[in-house]
Structure 1
Amino acid sequence: MLNCRTLFLSDIHLGCKNCQAGYLLNFLQHCQVDKIYLLGDIVDLWAMQRQVFWRVQQNQVVRQLLNMAEQGTEIIYVPGNHDEAFRLYAGKNFGAIQVQLRSQHITLTGQRLLLLHGDEFDKHVQLAHWHRRLGDHLYDVLLFLNRWNQRFRRTLGQPYFSLSAYIKSMVPGARQAIARYRDAAVQRAKRGGYDGIVCGHIHHPEITLQDGILYCNDGDWIDSCTALVETRDGSLALYHCAETCQQLSVWPEPTQVNVTALTKVA
């Protein structure tokens, strides 16, 4: 059981066939948390315009979040670009879930963090329109390959491995786009007088300190299967959660990070 102060999730993409709802459900069922921030693209309305792909596990994720809210977990929902229709409901509540255009969080150690989805930084990535469309199509292909690679690995009894994340990490253009996105996010936090920023959108989990600003990207649940956690001592940790849940990185960095197995998927 993971006991923490705060949980940051984004880019779940419920309704999309690439959604890793089973891994997320297992993670949530093993979490005891005071507050959850849902930072956009929770429901993929874009994907559902083409084809609705909604399995039982995706329903169970929604029920789990609602149950946690009813049991006292504070949940704040900041819609992204794939669920931007919900931005019309900013300032309203869906049951016990609050909808906001953006939010802020103060950690136990006093760090003031800006929270948003991150699609507003797309213009800073400076990719031509045709390049963006090509990138979207190539990412769809990568997710297709990732899906079949995962099925093959399961038949061999091997754990989850993100083929698409590995391929992206090898492409210089992708690394440059991620760096420009990070730069834009850091500058936005600095202009607002924040100590850091937490966002999603680009499906690249990361914790880093840049120009005195803490940059946290909580990743996604169609590719990396990651969540950002504020622990009971106020530190921030990035977890990868598939068959087991492993701590990838933590801030402030200790002398040694222990990789711990927290859960096991049945």
Structure 2
Amino acid sequence: MAKREVDIVVISDVHLGTYGCHAKELLKYLKSIKPKMLILNGDIIDIWQFSKSYWPETHMKVVRRILKFVTEGIPVYYLTGNHDEMLRKFADFNMGSFQLLNKVVLNIDGEKAWIFHGDVFDVTMQHSKWLAKLGAVGYDTLILINSFTNWLLTAIGRPKMSFSQKIKARFKEAVKFINQFEQTAADLAVEKGYQYVICGHIHHAEIRKMEATEKTGSVLYLNSGDWVESLTALEYNNKNWTIFKYEPADFNGDADEEDKTDAEDLDARLDVRILLERFKMEQD
């Protein structure tokens, strides 16, 4: 099956290592594309909630697929987020076509794109990290309950539902937070003279032209959403940005089928579970 060529792909908030992560679906998506550049915009691996007892093979396969892009010479930028903040001490590390950074400014067809995760705008992250971590555990639990509920709904022929999206829609403070997040990102991007600002963090995919608060200019605000509920990514092709949304009907075959690569050798050299346990111990 021919792979779909895409100039740039931006993915964020995958949360590998948690029960809510849709690694199998992400793997199918990654196998279906041939990007010229891949940007992993934070919270790809959830070091906050990492446990040695939960690291499914599909999660490892996502890591392998990303490393496969690196070995093929495709530029891969890993930008740190709050759930993988332990990696920030290793920022500016690069290996071949792989770069680990906190943020990056890229020239895309003559226009500057400011790309970062976005947790810097989250007041809870700045002043009550313990509360943010508690909220992350609660969110993961909600996703687990939601998954079981959706299994039951599917079994009786009813449409699936999203608990967290319903909660966000019903509470004005959640909607207000998203709006403030987007406006803050837009204001700073305009002030810095960028044409694009690309974030993750809030699990809400968006592409929208936004005016600065002081009406001194505008910027294209983009958010890649997540791979916990939305299952979305940003794609740039032919000088145009779009939101990709995973739909099961568009993908055939079994993502668990292992590629004909030397996976065992890779695992021997990169025991992700041991590395993540060390990161978590240092963080605690």
Cα distance, 1:151–1:131 mapped onto 2, change above 3 Å: same
Answering whether residue 105 of structure 2 is matched by residue 117 of structure 1, we say no
* TM-score, normalisation: structure 1: 0.82
CA contact (8 A) 2:40 2:79 kept: yes
- What per-residue deviation string (whole Å, max 9, x for no partner) do you get for residues 141-187 of structure 1? 53233221333355457786544324422332211110011111111
Q: Distance in 2 between matches of 1:265 and 1:121?
A: 40
More helix by share: 2
Tell me the SS of whatever aligns to 1:47: coil
Cα distance, 1:81–1:132 mapped onto 2, change above 3 Å: closer
Letter in 2 for 1:213: V
Q: Distance in 2 between matches of 1:220 and 1:5?
A: 20
- What per-residue deviation string (whole Å, max 9, x for no partner) do you get for residues 72-91 of structure 1? 21101111111111111111
Q: How does 1:152-163 map to 2 (within 5 A)?
A: 152-155=152-155, 162-163=162-163
Answering whether residue 234 of structure 2 is matched by residue 228 of structure 1, we say yes
Once the two structures are TM-superposed, the CA of residue 22 in structure 1 deviates from its matched residue by 0.7
- C-alpha RMSD over aligned residues: 2.8
Tell me the SS of whatever aligns to 1:76: strand
Q: Distance in 2 between matches of 1:4 and 1:30?
A: 10
Partner of 2:92: 91
* TM-score, normalisation: structure 2: 0.77
Q: Distance in 1 between matches of 2:174 and 2:116?
A: 22
Tell me the SS of whatever aligns to 1:214: strand
Unaligned runs of 5+ in 2: 212-217, 255-284
Partner of 2:191: 191
Q: Distance in 1 between matches of 2:96 and 2:156?
A: 43
Q: How does 1:60-75 map to 2 (within 5 A)?
A: 60-75=61-76
Q: How does 1:232-243 map to 2 (within 5 A)?
A: 233-243=238-248
Partner of 2:33: 31
Q: Distance in 1 between matches of 2:86 and 2:129?
A: 23
Percent identity of paired positions between Structure 1 and Structure 2:
31
Partner of 2:221: 215
Unaligned runs of 5+ in 1: 245-261
Q: Distance in 1 between matches of 2:175 and 2:28?
A: 31
CA contact (8 A) 1:18 1:143 kept: yes
Q: Distance in 1 between matches of 2:68 and 2:129?
A: 42
Cα distance, 1:156–1:117 mapped onto 2, change above 3 Å: same
CA contact (8 A) 1:125 1:181 kept: no
